[in-house]
Structures are given as C-alpha cells and as structure tokens.
Amino acid sequence: MIDAAPRMALAAERELEALVGVSSPSGDVDGAEECVTLATAFLPTEAGVERVECSTPGHAPDLIGFLRGRGTSRVLLLGHLDTVVAHDAHRPLERHGDRFTGSGAVDMKGGVALSLGLMRELATRPELYAEAAILLVNDEEWRTAPFTHAERFAGFDACLCFEAGERTEAGEEAVIVKRKAAATLRVHAHGRSAHSGSAPEKGRSALLALATVAQLVAARSDPGGPDRLTAVPTILRSGDAFNVVPPAGELLCDLRADRLEAFAPVLEAIPAKQDEVHLEPHMLRAWPGMDSRAATAGVLAAASESLGRPIIAAQRGGASDASHVAAGGIELTIDGLGPRGGGAHTPHEWVSAESLRTRAEVALAVTAALLGAY
C-alpha cells in the first residue's frame, strides 16, 4: 500500500488548494456546505454518502462516506472541515518553496485531503475490510455540545484521525496516541455599578472580583503534578465606560489535564461571592483525554517495520475529536496522521509540501498494519 503515497500526495496538493479556497469558520453554514460538496466530490465513486446532524445545533450537517468490503475489520477515518479564521481574514492557498500557506491548511484541511486520498486507495482493496468510513464534522473548533457520533462508531476496530502530524526532535515520524482532557471554564460576575469618580464606594466591581478569581484559578495549575493540570485564565471582559464601576463581566479559563476529574478542584476553588460580587462558574465545555498507547503499540511496531523507519508514539496537549471517539469505545485510536506544518488558528497556517508524501506513507503503513495488507 505504501507505494500509493506519491499518488496520494499529488492529489492532496490539488484538493488542499480547493478546500482552503473556501472560507469555513466554525458555524458558517454556507462555507461548510461548500466544503462538504468538495469533500463529497473527492470521495471514491464507490463510496456511499450520508449527511448526519451535527453535534452543534445550527451548524451544517456533518458528512459520512463509507465503503463496504469483503473483509472483517471496520476502520474510521476522522477529520473536520471548520476553521477558526474569520471570513475577513481568510487567506487562499499559496505556495512558496516547501510551504503551502493558507487559512485552515494545517488545522486541518491538509489532513482531510490525505484522508480522502486514503479512502480512494481503500476503494481499490475491498478485500481488506468489512467497512471503511470517513467522518468529517463542521464544528470541531468550537463545540460546547456533546459529541453525538461516538456511539455510531463504537463497534469499529480502529480510528485514524488526521490532525496535524509532527516529528520528534530526532527527526522521526510521530503520531499522537495520548491527549490531555480539555475544558473551558467560564465565570460570570454580577456586581453593582456606580460612578467611578463621585461615588466609587457604592459600586461592587465585577472586574476586580474576576481578577481575583483569575489568580485563584492560576494558583491551581500544577503541570508537574500527578494529573499534569494546567489552569490558565485567557479572557476577561468587564466594563462599558471608563468612568463607571463595572457591574458585570466574564472570565474564561483554559484547563488541561490527564483526567477530566482533575478539573473539579479548580471549580470548587471559586467562591460564590467575592467582595459582595456574585460569581457563577460553570464548565462551558469538557472534552475527555485519550490514552491509546497500549492498544496501538503492536500496530505502530508493524507499521514501522513495513515503512522501514520508526513511527513514534507521541502525546499532545491540544484537544481533538479523536478523544471523543476513543472514549466512546474505539481503543485503537491513532491521531496526528495529517501533514506537518504550523501557524494553526491563524490566517498564515502552512503545510509542508514534502510532508504530504511522507505523512501519506505513514498513514498507508499504519492502515496496512491495521488491515494486514503488507
């Protein structure tokens, strides 16, 4: 199967340009529909296509493509079509040397292009699987609702997710088999307004209360502890006028840890009141962690042998839908199969052109190891 890598890489270049050419910030229905139309066109002609309700209300339906085969294994390819870059900052794909630069290139339209190419290769080998499916969602970048697709694919044997790839410091190809749990903590504050010049003592400042809460949250961060917890205040909004004690506001904090349960002490540390300002903390979203090191060790060893160079099991702090799928029942979940690049979540995201081929080789070697196609 690995011999197909040059063909996959060449097609991925063209399909990446088409996908990045569409501005598709999370929640934009028109952009999502255009991306889905392209992805559907890039699927093998043998594939069935289904549109299913998105986990997030108001978003365009997600896309499932599927192939029926004559084998016994069932494998899911996973990715997302939405980006975080707004329409007015969108940048179409341009090539400069080894870099393809454009909005969403590395997170994760480059990975989507490779996964669609892998589906086309699988269509030529139906003896290898009972079912091969691809799920492309439209809300990964900002989902606060529960992930609705895990149950449907819980009986599959493996999941391959095509978030951005990476190399180790020694230059070895790596895939992601361990991710932290991730949560967004939001705290609303309700104080009392007053003129900040003539009667500031009559006010109760939501801004100052939230500043105190931010320090309380940051103090719970313990990256060297047993759960590797990081608790980072990231956004504070309060006040509408320079001469008024701000009566309301909100604080957002990013939480990461090996276990979801590690976030509970952070929530418990926030008082109901701070200097007579009422505080309402709640988790805006909470994504599970992933640890598939044991389940994937044999596959990665076999894939490394067939590839002729090591594929290293790595971990990453960022969240991914792979964690939802793994928590939903697919223990053999491997992430980070997309191309290498950088600048994620910015208009100048980029993908290495060379990595389209090398990461296609990794994806093909892993797939061959999963399905016994040496």
What CATH number is associated with residue 24?
3.40.630.10
Please check the confidence at residue 374 and state whether its pLDDT lies above 60: no
| 159 and 33 in a common domain | yes
pLDDT for 298 equals 96
- In angstroms, the Cα distances linking 209 to 108, 218, 269, 276 are 38, 14, 14, 9
pLDDT for 347 equals 86
pLDDT in tens, 20-78: 999 999 999 999 999 999 999 999 999 999 999 999 999 999 999 999 999 999 999 99
pLDDT for 142 equals 87
Count of beta carbons in the 10 Å neighbourhood of residue 264: 11
pLDDT for 318 equals 81
Query: What angle (nearest 5°) sits at the alpha carbon of residue 15, between those of residues 304 and 100?
Result: 75
- Among 270, 286, 302, the domain boundary falls at 286
pLDDT grade for 18, boundaries at 50, 70 and 90: very high
| 189 and 175 in a common domain | no
- The number of folded domains in the chain is 2
| 352 and 322 in a common domain | yes
- Among 286, 307, 341, the domain boundary falls at 286
What CATH number is associated with residue 218?
3.30.70.360
Closest CA relative to residue 50, chosen from 138, 134, 121, 153: 134
Q: List residues bridging with 167 in a β-sheet.
A: 173
**Which pair of tokens denotes residue 299?**
């596959």
What's the mean pLDDT in 149-154? 94
| 191 and 175 in a common domain | no
| 334 and 220 in a common domain | no
Instruction: Outline where DSSP puts E strands in the chain.
Output: 48-52, 62-68, 74-80, 94-96, 99-101, 131-137, 158-161, 166-167, 173-179, 181-190, 230-238, 248-257, 273-274, 277-287, 290-291, 311-316, 333-334, 341-342, 350-352
Q: What's the whole-number average pLDDT of the chain?
A: 96
- d(Cα 162, Cα 315) in Å, to the nearest integer? 14
| 306 and 279 in a common domain | no
Pairing of strands 311-316, 173-179: parallel
pLDDT for 189 equals 98
| 108 and 11 in a common domain | yes
Residues of the domain holding 231: 182-286
Please check the confidence at residue 373 and state whether its pLDDT lies above 70: no
What's the mean pLDDT in 73-84? 97
- Among 286, 311, 328, the domain boundary falls at 286
Residue by residue, DSSP assigns 59-91 as: SPPEEEEEEE-SSS-EEEEEEE--BS--GGG--
What's the mean pLDDT in 153-163? 96
Query: What angle (nearest 5°) sits at the alpha carbon of residue 26, between those of residues 20 and 32?
Result: 55
- d(Cα 370, Cα 374) in Å, to the nearest integer? 10
pLDDT in tens, 87-122: 999 999 999 999 999 999 999 999 999 999 999 999
pLDDT in tens, 191-241: 999 999 999 999 999 999 999 999 999 999 999 999 999 999 999 999 999
- d(Cα 167, Cα 254) in Å, to the nearest integer? 26
| 160 and 215 in a common domain | no
pLDDT in tens, 261-273: 999 999 999 999 9
Coil, strand or helix at 29: helix
Cα dihedral 147, 151, 152, 157 sign: positive
**Which amino acid is located at 371 in the chain?**
L
Please check the confidence at residue 317 and state whether its pLDDT lies above 90: no
